[in-house]
Structure 1
Amino acid sequence: MSVGTAVLRRRTVILSLVFVALSLGVIFGGGEIVARRYMDETAAQAGTTLRLAVSALEGHLKRYEALPALIADQALVEELVQKPHDEQLRERTSRYLKEINTLLTSSDIYVMTPDGDTIAASNYDGPLSFVGENFSYRPYFQDAANGKQSRFYALGTTSLKRGYYFGSPIKVGGAVLGVIVFKVDIDGIERSWTGGDSRIFVSDPEGIIFMTGSPEWLYSAIEPLTPERLARTEASRRYADAWLRELPIRRGSYAGHESIAISDTAGEREYLVVSTLMQEAGWTVNVLMDTGTVRAQTKTTVVAILLFICLAALFMAIIMQRRARLNERMQMQAEAKHELERRVAERTADLARVNSRIEKEIAERRLTEQRLRQTQADLIQAGKLAGLGQMSAALSHEFNQPLAAAKTYAESADVLIELGRVDEARDNVRRISALIDRMASISRHLRNFARKPNEKLGAITVSEVVKDTCEIVDARLKIAKAELRIDLPPDLPQVRAGAVRLQQVLVNIITNAADVVEGQEHRVIELSAHHQAGKVVILVRDQGTGVAAAIRERIFDPFFTTKGVGKGLGLGLSISYNIIKDFGGSLTVSDHPDGGAVFRVELHAASEALKAAE
């Protein structure tokens, strides 16, 4: 064995020990670092879910917060609390409350006297009518009877339905003569929490869960049910006769984050906990994320790191082995040194010529690469100029034609004035004014379309939006030699949307349709609308080849486009999809039985309240 080979073998042993120590460090220390990183990501995701849940709850409740005080000021309600024994007045008020309850989609509305007796209710004609019931034990009644605006969450003792109560005093001449209460159903929000990677629940000040996407947790307590907590809960009869129990939980921490373990029939599961307090409601909203996924990801990552270390060790061992063999070959080459020197001398001239030829080929290749890069840059620039030229051509056509006509009318007006034909000259001036109005209209529509919309949703007339849209897409349709056929019924109801953003959606869809039919035999685009089940449906159909199923699944994804390079970023339909979603509607695409693609926009018809607010 040579000295060089022995040295290399010692180095191999040392490197092996280093890799073993590094692997142990990853196993015992790296797992904690990886777990913290994944837990931080999970906590951020849980925080986002928590903010969305709180926003949904607050938004739902704020819709009804001011309504009790508003209805309390109605003359019919004030008259009832002054004449609580008038049966006809009671029935009229109950019918009025039922109409309001239906309009506002609340759960129940009822009026009580100062002693807590219910004298009118929206459910007066139902089997579980509140009329005649006494709710003086409820905190929301007690606060309202003292002249305060109140709120309270509870399980109804009569209806056995959960709800959130808003109470307001009914004042006449400065004196509290009664109380009006709105009960709001929050089951819809709770249903939206079912499924998904997270579990969401809301607990009251006593730690009792009263809203949850996991029905098995309902009316369970996450805090010990001490006699004091039970006494306060029973005094308000918040949960009527519901069975309250403690949820079997074990608190702890994992990777620097608070966690709880909950036991059920399937065993114990650990969750990351993120909570926040809704101050006005007195609730605590909690989001739980299963840590099982984090632990599995941590194990997978640690195993991957160990595998990488093993591969690196194997790679280094191969290199060391090759170096050992190289040394052996070098010794063999030293023995044949003289023979090699002779052969090298003979081939030096050949190698010099070969090197010269290789250098020349390298220089030619570099020059070719430079030319290729320059050609690519020229193509990119040409694509940019083509896009600019297409847009400039459309605007130039729209403005140059009226400008040329205006110039002709102006010159003829000058001649007519010289001939004393003033009336005809005046008619030319009116024509020039009309052309200027036309150019101003095009400019105004382009400016309004380009302006960033900052509008609230309101009652929008579809025909007016379509008219403005036609002003903008007219130039593109002329270039494509396409015909836009519009079929809008005169009795089409208004929709709940924003005018500028709806216009942007229609421009995107019609422009894409113009791109599709350009060069086709039938260049017709059809735009129609109809009223269907409380919604307005707008259809845009082209005469193209339709949309393949594979493309249809991704057509609304950002940056997805079937156009050539430089002809689109793939954002138009994605932006349009999200605009319609913001309106509460939907945007879909399908193939027409007779050929071509059909884009379908569904929007909610504007409510009477929204129209009145305009």
Structure 2
Amino acid sequence: MIRPMKLRTLFPLAAFGLALVVACSVVWTVTRERGVEALRKGAAARLERNVGTLKSTLDRYEYLPYLLALHPDVQNVLASPDAESVDRANRYLEDVNAHARATVTYIVRADGRCIAASNWRTPSSFIGEDYRFRPYFVDARNGGIGRFFGIGTISREPGYYISQPVYRDHALVGVAVVKLNLEWFQHADESEPMLVADDHGVIFLSSNPAWKYRTLAPIPAATLDAIRDVRQYAREALLPLPINIAARLAGDAQIVHIGERPLAPAYLATHRHLDAPAWQFVSVAPMANVERDAANAATITAFGLISACLLLVYLRMRRIRTVEMARSRALLQQAYAQLNARVEARTADLSAANAQLTREVAERTRAEHELRATQNELIQASKLAALGQMAAGITHELNQPLTALRSFSDNTRVLLERGRLDAATENLSAIASLTERMGRITNQLKLFVGKARPMMTDASLQAVLRNALAVLEVRLGGVRFEATSDLAPASAEIERPAASPLDCVPPELRVHGESLRLEQVVINVVGNALDALAGRADPRIALDVRADAASVRLTIEDNGPGIDDDALTHLFEPFFTTKEMGAGLGLGLAISSSILRECGGALDAGNVSTGGARFAITLRRSDFDKRMNS
């Protein structure tokens, strides 16, 4: 009798224990997989952002050695290195290096000896040093672009080297080199560890100092000797970083353990490769939070199942006790049988209601957890959408200055070939101004991801029109441009845009707004008009300026095909465009409208009755604001 009772008791306990273990294992596994996937997506997004930041920085300096190679002072010092030409070259390199914010800029002769450098005033000057063993010098001497990261042989400071060959009369006479300090990048994103390795797997940038100048895998002895021959990493031992791969995931991600200990910390490693330079980016996200969340979920599940089991046992014991009491009362007093039956029925109803209430509480708790998880996913999706819109906006806004940079560069090359150094210097100044403008544009594009506080500044309308039309000068070459105004009796009909607004707009007319943003608006509107005039035999653009005491209205008309009625309703929406695929992103008018709203102005669009499109820009006069405040 005792043994069957023990078996009947042990079997349910064993079944419950097995079910508890299975349930906790499933919950732990599912929670951990979801956490790993969310961590992988977040790490991939941050990695793409960091890679884009570093790539844009490297691309910005990619053409600086090429421009240095074309300068007369550089070519003269390589052709005849007398004291006067060396001094001019040193001062020119010092000025360029300061404005470009590079680390060092220097010129190397074809035999590998440095002849001029921007740090010529310092005790650690590169002048006189031999660099023929450096790979970036060898690549440039062979006619290519040199890209190399290493520790400096003189300064002992790590940096990224970009080099270009210098030709004179179609013969290679030297190499122009720019060195950049990239130490800032390893501290750019402190949210999770980040490292960058070269094509040999040597880690040269890392937010964890202990990982720097370690290798992702053992390096062959021949490769190690080649690295030491070019003194790429000075006397660093280049020992392998202890990495053990625990699992491989989708999207080139891995779960790894980094460290010598048996229970080394776990990380989610996400990889990203670059082609030029051939670098490998690795985002190393700690797995501690994921493991803790999975353990917490399993613990909560265990407590929930145990609580539910105890509740069921309690209800069963209570029911048994109620039945026994009813039977006892039936034996003692038959008269109370009906009353005992009612009590028993009522007790059963209360038990059912209690069980129903428990289920409803559990269901509402689960629904609340799912709602919070959904909200977190929506917040993350919103952040990613904002980053994508920012990237698209930067691509669109930099298109016009890049076109102008190409035109000025081609023109400068022609002027240098003709010996017109003064005109070439003016073009180089314009290129520097456009480069600064591109940097300021990227800071202004935050209007799409957050509401920035407007700057209380004003600008000369004549200067705004002059700068905007100067950017579009090449495209306006074959267009008939007319400018009229009610502010001056003269009107201008010109062939070059640089003088068109000056005859009809007084220099003292100032409007409310920052000059660069207003130039962006004019460039976008006039640029769209030029796109609409492509292929026409008699292209024409008319600019009309009207002013009253409080505002200024600029009307820009063209004789193109005009705007469809359906397109007018969506014209200022982001990413809406009527151009062919790849010809536009649909962000220009949306950004222009946002800029004008912040300045207190407006942008309207319509069609001309005789054909073509009309855009009206309304701006507040700054002198009106001053009169009202006084």
Q: Please, what TM-score do these two structures have when normalized by structure 2?
A: 0.51
**Contact 1:32–1:255 (Cα < 8 Å) also in 2:** no
| Superposition map of 1:137-176 within 5 A | 137-176=133-172
Q: Which amino acid aligns with 1:25?
A: V
| Superposition map of 1:408-557 within 5 A | 462-464=456-458, 498=517
**Deviation sequence 1:284-334 (CA, Å, 0-9, x none):** 111112223332322222111111110111122222223334444665787
Q: How far did residue 15 of structure 1 move?
A: 6.3
Does residue 49 of structure 1 match 2:46?
yes
Q: Which amino acid aligns with 2:304?
A: F
Aligned to 1:355: none
Aligned counterpart in structure 1 of residue 74 of structure 2, from 74, 77, 97:
77
Aligned counterpart in structure 2 of residue 235 of structure 1, from 202, 223, 229:
229
Q: Which amino acid aligns with 2:36?
A: M
Does residue 36 of structure 1 match 2:30?
no
Q: How far did residue 342 of structure 1 move?
A: 11
Does residue 250 of structure 1 match 2:247?
no
Alpha-carbon distance between aligned partners in 1 of 2:105 and 2:254, rounded to the nearest angstrom: 42
Aligned counterpart in structure 2 of residue 132 of structure 1, from 125, 128, 133:
128
Q: 1:495 to 1:11 in 2, by over 3 A?
A: farther
Q: Which amino acid aligns with 2:238?
A: L
Does residue 209 of structure 1 match 2:206?
no
User: SS in structure 1 opposite 2:254?
Assistant: strand
Aligned to 1:294: 290
Q: 1:332 to 1:500 in 2, by over 3 A?
A: farther
Q: Which amino acid aligns with 1:54?
A: V
Alpha-carbon distance between aligned partners in 1 of 2:512 and 2:174, rounded to the nearest angstrom: 41
Aligned to 2:87: 91
Alpha-carbon distance between aligned partners in 2 of 1:500 and 1:343, rounded to the nearest angstrom: 91
Q: Which amino acid aligns with 1:71?
A: L
**Contact 2:458–2:512 (Cα < 8 Å) also in 1:** no
Aligned to 2:188: 192
Alpha-carbon distance between aligned partners in 2 of 1:310 and 1:496, rounded to the nearest angstrom: 69
Q: How far did residue 120 of structure 1 move?
A: 0.7
**Contact 1:165–1:182 (Cα < 8 Å) also in 2:** yes
User: SS in structure 2 opposite 1:136?
Assistant: coil
Aligned length: 363
**Contact 2:459–2:511 (Cα < 8 Å) also in 1:** no
Q: Which amino acid aligns with 1:126?
A: T
Q: How far did residue 161 of structure 1 move?
A: 0.9
Aligned to 1:471: none
Does residue 105 of structure 1 match 2:101?
yes
Q: 1:60 to 1:42 in 2, by over 3 A?
A: same
Q: 1:249 to 1:86 in 2, by over 3 A?
A: same
Alpha-carbon distance between aligned partners in 2 of 1:343 and 1:319, rounded to the nearest angstrom: 19
User: SS in structure 1 opposite 2:193?
Assistant: strand
Alpha-carbon distance between aligned partners in 1 of 2:339 and 2:314, rounded to the nearest angstrom: 34
Q: 1:38 to 1:341 in 2, by over 3 A?
A: closer
**Deviation sequence 1:314-373 (CA, Å, 0-9, x none):** 1222222233344446657878787787999xxxxxxxxxxxxxxxxxxxxxxxxxxxxx
Q: How far did residue 22 of structure 1 move?
A: 1.4
Alpha-carbon distance between aligned partners in 1 of 2:134 and 2:125, rounded to the nearest angstrom: 17
| Superposition map of 1:587-602 within 5 A | none
**Contact 2:247–2:256 (Cα < 8 Å) also in 1:** yes
Q: Which amino acid aligns with 1:312?
A: A
Name the Cα RMSD after superposition. 4.2
Aligned to 2:465: none
**Contact 1:199–1:288 (Cα < 8 Å) also in 2:** yes
Does residue 305 of structure 1 match 2:310?
no
Q: Which amino acid aligns with 2:196?
A: V
Q: 1:156 to 1:461 in 2, by over 3 A?
A: same
Give the gaps of 5 or more residues in structure 2: 1-5, 342-445, 462-508, 522-593, 599-630
Q: Which amino acid aligns with 1:217?
A: W
**Contact 1:114–1:177 (Cα < 8 Å) also in 2:** yes
Aligned to 2:400: none
Alpha-carbon distance between aligned partners in 2 of 1:213 and 1:41, rounded to the nearest angstrom: 22
Alpha-carbon distance between aligned partners in 2 of 1:342 and 1:225, rounded to the nearest angstrom: 89
Does residue 116 of structure 1 match 2:104?
no
**Deviation sequence 1:201-232 (CA, Å, 0-9, x none):** 11111111111111122211121132122022
Q: How far did residue 71 of structure 1 move?
A: 2.1
**Deviation sequence 1:44-87 (CA, Å, 0-9, x none):** 2322232222122112212211111122212222222222x211
Q: How far did residue 461 of structure 1 move?
A: 7.8
**Deviation sequence 1:541-561 (CA, Å, 0-9, x none):** xxxxxxxxxxxxxxxxxxxxx
Q: 1:239 to 1:501 in 2, by over 3 A?
A: same
Q: For CA contacts below 8 A with separation 6 or more, give which structure has more relative contact order.
A: 1
Which protein shows a greater Rg? Answer: 1
Alpha-carbon distance between aligned partners in 2 of 1:342 and 1:319, rounded to the nearest angstrom: 22
User: SS in structure 1 opposite 2:458?
Assistant: helix
**Deviation sequence 1:130-158 (CA, Å, 0-9, x none):** 11111111111111112222211111111
Alpha-carbon distance between aligned partners in 2 of 1:322 and 1:34, rounded to the nearest angstrom: 37
Alpha-carbon distance between aligned partners in 2 of 1:87 and 1:120, rounded to the nearest angstrom: 11
Aligned to 1:278: 274
Q: How far did residue 111 of structure 1 move?
A: 0.7
Q: 1:57 to 1:313 in 2, by over 3 A?
A: same
More displaced 10-residue stretch of structure 1: 107-116 or 218-227:
218-227
**Contact 1:461–1:493 (Cα < 8 Å) also in 2:** no
**Contact 1:453–1:500 (Cα < 8 Å) also in 2:** no
**Deviation sequence 1:260-283 (CA, Å, 0-9, x none):** 323269983332211111221111
Q: Which amino acid aligns with 1:302?
A: A
Q: Which amino acid aligns with 2:76?
A: E
Q: Which amino acid aligns with 1:170?
A: V
Aligned counterpart in structure 1 of residue 216 of structure 2, from 215, 222, 234:
222
Q: How far did residue 27 of structure 1 move?
A: 4.3
Q: 1:341 to 1:99 in 2, by over 3 A?
A: same
Give the gaps of 5 or more residues in structure 1: 1-8, 345-451, 468-489, 503-578, 584-614
